[in-house]
Amino acid sequence: MLLTSIDFVIVGGGTAGLVLASRLSEDPTQHVLVLEAGADLSEDMRVKVPGLFSSLMKTEADWGFQSQPQRHLKGRQINLHQGKALGGSSSINAHVFVPPTWNLLDTWDSVLGNQGWNRSSLQEYYAKAYTFPSVDRSLETALGVDGWTSSTPSSASNNGPIQLSLGGTAGHPIREAWAETFRTKGMHMGSNPLCSTSDDAAMIGSFSCLSSIHPKTKERSYAASAYLNPIKDRQNLVVLTSATVERVLFEGADVKRATGVQYKHDGKTHIVSSTKEVIIAAGALQSPKILELSGIGAREVLEKHGIELIKDLPVGENLQDHLVSGTSFEAVDHLETLDDLIRQEPAAVEKAMEEYMTSQTGPLTSIGIRTYAYLPVVSEPGRTIIEKAFLENPPPVGDRRDEVRARAHYEIAKKTLLNPKEPSAAYLSILWQFIFPVDPTSDSPTEPIPGKFLTLGFLLAQPLSCGSVHIGSSDPSSAPVIDPNYLSNPIDAEIMAQHALYLEDIASSPPLSNLLKQPLRRRDPASDITSVEEAKRYVETSSISMFHYAGTCAMLPEEKGGVVDHELKVYGVEGLRVVDSSAVPLISTANLQSTVYAFAERAADLIKQEYGLK
């Protein structure tokens, strides 16, 4: 190791960890060490080429966890992926780059009590993370981004590390058809949702989504390529891969101070000290594990595993995630889809590889997700059902910290989910057949089938169901025990059922309906649902994780079940912060990466201010 004295040890060189590494090492007087359990895969084609993203699942680049059997999902165990490489989950994610609804961000401060964490303080950090692509005016309509020009940032403020693009060819009809379909329904976003600054910016409706894919190279733009690679020669920054942190080390009698970490590298145990701070950034499924192994966690969890308690905090509780379900509809024959690649047809794969390698064109330049819509429950009977569900399922009373936190979540959910101007689901289109799990006794195929498909999916934007992740053993090499407790709150099940039923309405509405064979033909007969009860059963069988875990070391006041305060400092000890999706107190409306980048950018500024760094 080249550094003699280390100011900051960052545990986890993932999405948030590399933002911190890059920003904190901007001050040449500061010495920063990153310890990352995974390898540097930045030259690996599976990481670089957008269309190869699914080939990374269950490989060495993926921690490949599984949930506990989920009671409300028919006892299924759900695959829970997390990136294990420099760049963490940003190195294996699906590139979708979408914003939260800005009103929801305000509740972090106003309802949850995180002073200074709101739309006005965070919006600049979202923008700081990315560069928005320039769009040829003549293509705006075809790309579904007409009307965005006025809200798109000027070049002066548009130079963040993550390079965004509108992935895929402009000539594909999906973006324009999607925009027109929702415009006809009065639900199209007229301005760019990522950059909207207007107070009354409607966050309901359809939009073309951006991807973290470099517009020129057509390669994944992620924490390692965008934040680390340009600065990795800095003398004051060391990034050690294949280094797995086991615990944080403390000194002191009354108040303990984090002084370094113990980690495994090359089969040996090492210790490294930090003069300023240890910052945990191991992601929402693993930051709790490191804290618990270090003596910070719920008393009963630590006692069970014989770990000496340093501070009793609800580490690992409050696990939030997005469930996704949907339906694959048969597309018209002339629609360009990625189904032949999904079926791994040799000729199609060969042609796509050649196009990509020779001219950075073709189907591998995107993963076929180009459109989104943030929507409330639209139907009138549906809205009444949701209101009734809220009345029948009130939040817990009582002063326990989990009860106080649940009440705060409920207050936010009630305000947003019953408001027709706030979304309860994020819809997306996928240009291939998506193989959702099916009941084994049904006729639905479990392998890719011939034909072309357009999948309409939706994710539950603001789940009330919360789960947990804890150590199952004091052995650092054991996987955490993860129980997301999906759909344990009946309100979530009602909302998902309503959105599942609305898919047919979208698929039948022109001009989108012109891209689908009519009458509609579904890939999975089981997804042909007409009643709320059928929809609930389908959701229980088909839903899977979107891998947007958050909240397990939540930034919240201690009496609300917080693990870190509004400066991300772990309560009750010194010299220790958590900066990653685990500290995000409330899952964002849709995909999480933009929020993790913004969160880490703001955290870096807070740390720099505290120590007077450049």
Ligand X SMILES: Cc1cc2nc3c(=O)[nH]c(=O)nc-3n(C[C@H](O)[C@H](O)[C@H](O)COP(=O)(O)OP(=O)(O)OC[C@H]3O[C@@H](n4cnc5c(N)ncnc54)[C@H](O)[C@@H]3O)c2cc1C
89 scored as a contact of ligand X (CB under 6 A): yes
CA angle, residues 53, 59, 60, in degrees to nearest 5: 115
- Minimal distance, residue 553 CB to ligand X, in Å: 10
Closest among 473, 16, 570 to 282, alpha carbons compared: 16
283 scored as a contact of ligand X (CB under 6 A): yes
If the CB atoms of residues 14 and 193 are measured against ligand X, the closer one turns out to be: 14
- Minimal distance, residue 579 CB to ligand X, in Å: 8
If the CB atoms of residues 191 and 244 are measured against ligand X, the closer one turns out to be: 244
If the CB atoms of residues 181 and 244 are measured against ligand X, the closer one turns out to be: 244
If the CB atoms of residues 11 and 576 are measured against ligand X, the closer one turns out to be: 11
Considering only residues 147 through 176, tell me which ones interact with ligand X, judged by CB under 6 A.
Answer: none
423 scored as a contact of ligand X (CB under 6 A): no
What is d(CA 546, CA 70) in angstroms, rounded to the nearest whole number? 15
- Minimal distance, residue 69 CB to ligand X, in Å: 21
Considering only residues 567 through 606, tell me which ones interact with ligand X, judged by CB under 6 A.
Answer: 580-581, 591-594, 596
Q: Which residue has the tokens 């509108």?
A: 166
Tell me the per-residue interface mask from 523 to 552 with ligand X, x by CB under 6 A, - otherwise: ------------------------xx----
Stretch of 78-86, 149-157, 169-177, 299-307 lying at the interface with ligand X (CB under 6 A): 78-86
Stretch of 5-13, 487-495, 559-567, 601-609 lying at the interface with ligand X (CB under 6 A): 5-13
Stretch of 85-93, 200-208, 297-305, 388-396 lying at the interface with ligand X (CB under 6 A): 85-93
Q: Which residues contact 321 (CB under 8 A, 6 or more apart)?
A: 463, 467, 484, 486, 545, 546, 547, 548, 549, 550, 587
* Residue type at position 520: L
Considering only residues 18 through 37, tell me which ones interact with ligand X, judged by CB under 6 A.
Answer: 35-37
Of the candidate residues 30, 67, 93, 206, the single one contacting ligand X (CB under 6 A)? 93
374 scored as a contact of ligand X (CB under 6 A): no
* Residue type at position 89: S
What is d(CA 449, CA 201) in angstroms, rounded to the nearest whole number? 42
- Minimal distance, residue 222 CB to ligand X, in Å: 8
What is d(CA 494, CA 261) in angstroms, rounded to the nearest whole number? 45
What is d(CA 585, CA 571) in angstroms, rounded to the nearest whole number? 15
If the CB atoms of residues 94 and 456 are measured against ligand X, the closer one turns out to be: 94
95 scored as a contact of ligand X (CB under 6 A): yes
Instruction: For 194-220, give the DSSP string.
Output: TT---TT----EEEEPEESB-TTT--B
What is d(CA 29, CA 238) in angstroms, rounded to the nearest whole number? 14
What is d(CA 91, CA 49) in angstroms, rounded to the nearest whole number? 11
If the CB atoms of residues 235 and 478 are measured against ligand X, the closer one turns out to be: 478
292 scored as a contact of ligand X (CB under 6 A): no
Q: Which residue has the tokens 């997005």?
A: 322
Of the candidate residues 90, 103, 114, 320, the single one contacting ligand X (CB under 6 A)? 90
238 scored as a contact of ligand X (CB under 6 A): no
Give yes or no for a contact between 251 and 259, defined as CB atoms under 8 angstroms apart: yes
281 scored as a contact of ligand X (CB under 6 A): yes
- Minimal distance, residue 415 CB to ligand X, in Å: 24
Q: What residue is closest to ligand X based on CB?
A: 14
380: helix, strand or coil: helix
Of the candidate residues 50, 83, 215, 362, the single one contacting ligand X (CB under 6 A)? 83
139: helix, strand or coil: helix
Q: With CB under 6 A, what is the number of residues at the site for ligand X?
A: 40
What is d(CA 357, CA 132) in angstroms, rounded to the nearest whole number? 25
* Residue type at position 170: A
For residue 516, what are the CA distances in angstroms to 74, 257, 466, 519, 613? 31, 61, 37, 8, 56
* Residue type at position 41: L
Of the candidate residues 6, 10, 14, 317, the single one contacting ligand X (CB under 6 A)? 14
Of the candidate residues 6, 12, 327, 433, the single one contacting ligand X (CB under 6 A)? 12
Q: Which alpha helices (H) appear in 93-245, and where do they start and end? A: 102-110, 119-129, 174-184
What is d(CA 86, CA 74) in angstroms, rounded to the nearest whole number? 35
96 scored as a contact of ligand X (CB under 6 A): yes
318 scored as a contact of ligand X (CB under 6 A): no
What is d(CA 378, CA 372) in angstroms, rounded to the nearest whole number? 16
Stretch of 91-99, 189-197, 270-278, 404-412 lying at the interface with ligand X (CB under 6 A): 91-99
88: helix, strand or coil: helix
556 scored as a contact of ligand X (CB under 6 A): no
499: helix, strand or coil: helix
Which residues contribute to the site for ligand X (CB under 6 A)?
A: 11-17, 35-38, 81-84, 88-90, 92-96, 244-245, 281-284, 286, 290, 547-548, 580-581, 591-594, 596
